[in-house]
Amino acid sequence: MGSLRAVSDDVRVGCAVDPASLRTDTDYRRTVASEFDAITAENAMKWGRLAADEGAYDFADADDVARFAERHDMYVRGHTLVWHRMYPEWLRPWTRSEAETERLLRDHVQTVAGRYRGCVDAWDVVNEAVADDGGLRETQWLNALGPEYIDRAFEYAAGVSDADLFYNDYGADGLSEKSDEVYDLVADLVAREVPIDGVGLQLHVFEETVPPADVAANVERLTELGLDVHITELDVGIGAAVPDEEAQADYYREVVGAATDAGVDTVVTWGVDDGQSWLPERGFGEAPLLFDESFERKPAYRAVREALGE
Ligand code: G3I
């Protein structure tokens, strides 16, 4: 059996990575390089990691991911420029003036998106700005700058980057009130000609499965707005949502098949192997990825290959 990245000419399959594991773990590095043709830094391009100290960026880890991607001819999803989590502690307390806060936002977006111009192919410009119970999430950015912070982030990124610019969220994968909210948000951005190119559906699956037909319908309506849609953080925890490895594989097959049939050309899993995943340590399900802890291919791995037409 060849590698996953060779299965489809039309669909890229990626993974979120940890730069330290890329540097030190031979099995991890070999798996990422040989199996995937897209990559995301799970944390290394987040603001809090890049600029832990005020006024000083440390790009070492993020650059490692970028170089690895270049060496292995991988599509790069940059994650993420503006988020309400994993920002530097020095941004607290949020008592700066509106002008100063906007300057910080602008400088950050321009610095990071500018640095990776020509390397990052798609940026998650704004992440998780919609609240779970409707409306915009009450973030520090919303409080300081109003809803326009979203426009500004896309505009600043567009000014320095040639990447496709995405809005990315969770719980908005299928058809739900939250996915309607995300749809309305991005439709409004498109209508006002804010420079957005796509929507990332994270597709973390652990409480219950999202019907694949609903994912397809959501992809189709977003595509009709003229936007690209990527599956950006796919994982399927064994537990409440799927009872075992076989059911997990069936779900991977169905949901990846439905999404790609509906026009998704990039599917990224949120990690590489079951030994390193954010889900189990938070009690959200077990063994959610395509490779087990020993980097052996799981039934889910073969199911994704089948979904891509093998
Ligand atoms: O690296 C430090 C370690 O030195 C320290 O000892 C330890 C103590 O808590 O923390 C470690 O950092 C943690 C990091 O993950 C690496 O494991 C952070 O505390 C923890 O907050 C961080 O969680 C990440 C989370 O985003 C917050 O940034 C997860 O790895 C990452 O999978 C998760 O990813 C998010 C996406 O960005 C957005 N969508 C949801 C997704 C899952 O929550």
From residue 257, give the alpha-carbon distance in Å to each of 24, 222, 303: 34, 17, 10
Taking the centre of ligand 1 as the mean of its atom positions, its distance from the CA of residue 43, in whole angstroms, is: 7
Kindly state if the Cβ of 169 falls inside 6 Å of ligand 1: no
| Cα–Cα distance for residue pair 67/61, rounded to 1 Å | 10
What DSSP character marks residue 193?
A: T
Whether 233 is catalytic is yes
Residue 83 · residue 128 · CB < 8 Å = yes
Helix, strand, or coil (residue 165): strand
What DSSP character marks residue 208?
A: S
Q: Which pLDDT value is given to residue 224?
A: 98
Helix, strand, or coil (residue 190): helix
| Cα–Cα distance for residue pair 182/196, rounded to 1 Å | 13
Say what angle helices 212-224 and 177-191 make with each other, to 10 degrees.
10
For 260, the token pair is: 């790609």
Report the candidate in 8, 41, 11 with the shortest Cα–Cα distance to residue 116: 41
Residue 84 · residue 45 · CB < 8 Å = no
- Number of Cβ within 10 Å of residue 53's Cβ equals 10
DSSP 136-154: B---HHHHHH-THHHHHHH
Whether 128 is catalytic is yes
- Number of Cβ within 10 Å of residue 92's Cβ equals 9
- Those residues with Cβ within 8 angstroms of residue 71's Cβ, 6 or more apart along the chain or in another chain: none
pTM: 0.98
Sites in the chain below the pLDDT cut of 50: none
Report the candidate in 305, 227, 215, 302 with the shortest Cα–Cα distance to residue 261: 215
Residue 154 · residue 189 · CB < 8 Å = yes
DSSP 256-302: HHHHHHTT--EEEES-SBTTS-HHHHTTS-B--SSB-TT-PBPHHHH
Give the residue, by CA position, lying nearest to ligand 1 atom 29.
278
| Cα–Cα distance for residue pair 273/36, rounded to 1 Å | 13
* Pocket-testing residue among 278, 282, 284, ligand 1, by greatest number of atoms within 8 A of Cβ: 278
Kindly state if the Cβ of 202 falls inside 6 Å of ligand 1: yes
Q: Which pLDDT value is given to residue 1?
A: 84
Kindly state if the Cβ of 59 falls inside 6 Å of ligand 1: no
